[in-house]
Amino acid sequence: MVRVGVNGYGTIGKRVALAVLKQDDMSLVGVVKKNADYTALQARKLGIKIYAPTEDDMKKFEDSGVKVEGTLRDLLEGVDVIVDATPGGMGEQYRKLYDQFKVKQVFQGGEKPEVAEVSFSSLCNYSEALGKRSVRVVSCNTTGLLRIICVLNANSPVERVKAVIIRRAADPKEVKRGPINSIELDPPKAPSHHAKDVKTVIPWVKITTVAVAVPTTLMHMHHVTLKVSKKLTKSDVIAVLEEAPRVMLVNAEKTGITGTAGIVEASRDLRLRYDVPELVVFEDSVSVEDDEISLFQAIHQESIVVPENIDAIRALIPLELDPAKSIGKTDRALELNKRLW
Ligand code: NAD
């Protein structure tokens, strides 16, 4: 059993911690929490051990009557891998400490690529992370773009990609972020940073991205156009996506689901926290013109990177050399499937 710790128990950290608990080849030693809020009490209810970043933080927990086992340093003594899910940019500050304790490191997409040896996406470059000291699981939008590119590329080499990214304004808990009543160019200047981030994983791809932020918290949506070198029909593309791991096809005509609210509502009825770690491709939106495939895909920003974090842990050790086997194992443990109905 690989011993895992999670530093930062927010949107991503709490999901990765629960995902680790569901694996039979890794154990969760504990999580580092900054504040003694309700999520600390929930973690304790789930039997998860809590550590504080520093001794000063530990006092806050003790004053609130929430039991903590020690500090981050104590946690690092007892783990093989630390998953850093602290706010973007903070992982870089922690890196030296992780090195000092000689633990393997998984960082998140809010960090600069230089934080780790490899930027990671399970379906694209699992093997590059085998036995490495550190990886950075790329952001939610980048993970979504990489999934569609690498799945299609395995069937017909992708020559060029153009994507329009419609970003959610904030996560549901982030009440102070916006926009509330605008469609904001985000960033105003083209291209957006996503294209560069995709290239940190697959440098060979020609890609351009632009992005806007819209007043919603549920999911991101992308319109992606991929020029491929071997001609595929619309039904070829749908068959490829039907077979691919971590991709869910939604047929609007058959299901009545025509957008992110429908996906989330269907998931609310079936899943914990309505998480949808699969990339959701709208089947009816798939169109093929000559050598260009285009489609709409939706990304649940809070959960899409969770299975990638589990695969990253497996690759770093390495627990599993075969990417397909790790992906299959993770997906079975997380009960990812192809349908929400
Ligand atoms: P978050 O703010 O929800 O969680 C971060 C947690 O770290 C919070 O609980 C905070 O209290 C805690 N924290 C703050 N300072 C700390 C410290 N010194 N030591 C330990 N913990 C500390 O953030 P998040 O959305 O989970 O983002 C984490 C990382 O994941 C970022 O790099 C982000 O870019 C990336 N990411 C976020 C999303 C998303 O949509 N939320 C998607 C993909 C990747």
CATH 3.30.360.10 residue ranges of the chain are 140-299
- CA within 13 Å, CB half, 322: 4
Residue with tokens 């842990």: 313
pLDDT digit string (tens) for 75-99? 999 999 999 999 999 999 999 999 9
- Nearest-CA residue for ligand 1 atom 9 is 10
Asked if the model's pLDDT at residue 315 lies above 90, the reply is yes
Q: Is the CB of 302 under 6 A from ligand 1?
A: yes
Amino acid at 323: P
The CA–CA distances, whole Å, from 304 to 203, 247, 299 equal 22, 11, 7
Q: Is the CB of 32 under 6 A from ligand 1?
A: yes
How does residue 45 score in pLDDT terms, banded at 50, 70 and 90? very high
Q: How far apart are CA 201 and CA 80, in angstroms?
A: 25
Whole-number pLDDT of residue 337: 82
Whole-number pLDDT of residue 272: 85
Catalytic-role residue among 17, 31, 140, 218: 140
Q: Ligand 1: which atom is nearest the Cα of residue 305?
A: 43
Q: How far apart are CA 313 and CA 22, in angstroms?
A: 14
* Cα 14 from chain centroid (whole Å): 13
Q: Is the CB of 5 under 6 A from ligand 1?
A: no
CB 84 within 8 A of CB 13: no
CB 17 within 8 A of CB 28: yes
- Nearest-CA residue for ligand 1 atom 27 is 87
pLDDT digit string (tens) for 189-219? 999 999 999 999 999 999 999 999 999 999 9
Q: State pTM to two decimals.
A: 0.97
pLDDT digit string (tens) for 117-164? 999 999 999 999 999 999 999 999 999 999 999 999 999 999 999 999
Whole-number pLDDT of residue 29: 98
Measure 30 CA to ligand 1 centroid, in angstroms. Answer: 16
Give the helix ranges, DSSP H, for 22-89: 38-45, 55-64, 72-77
CATH 3.40.50.720 residue ranges of the chain are 2-137+305-333
Q: Is the CB of 35 under 6 A from ligand 1?
A: yes
Measure 118 CA to ligand 1 centroid, in angstroms. Answer: 20
Q: For residue 305, which of 190, 192, 220 has the smallest C-alpha distance?
A: 220
Virtual CA dihedral for 238, 242, 244, 245, nearest 10 degrees?
140
> 47 forms bridges with which residues in the sheet?
none
Query: Quick one: 2-137+305-333 is in which CATH superfamily?
Result: NAD(P)-binding Rossmann-like Domain (3.40.50.720)
Q: How far apart are CA 327 and CA 132, in angstroms?
A: 18
Q: Is the CB of 53 under 6 A from ligand 1?
A: yes
Q: Which of 55, 84, 86, 135 to mutate to test the pocket of ligand 1 (most atoms within 8 A of CB)?
A: 86
CATH class of 140-299: alpha beta
140 part of the active site = yes
> 32 forms bridges with which residues in the sheet?
7, 51
Q: Is the CB of 84 under 6 A from ligand 1?
A: no
Burial 269-303 (b: 16+ CB within 10 A, else e): eeeeebbbbbbbbbbeebebeeeebbbbbbbbbbb
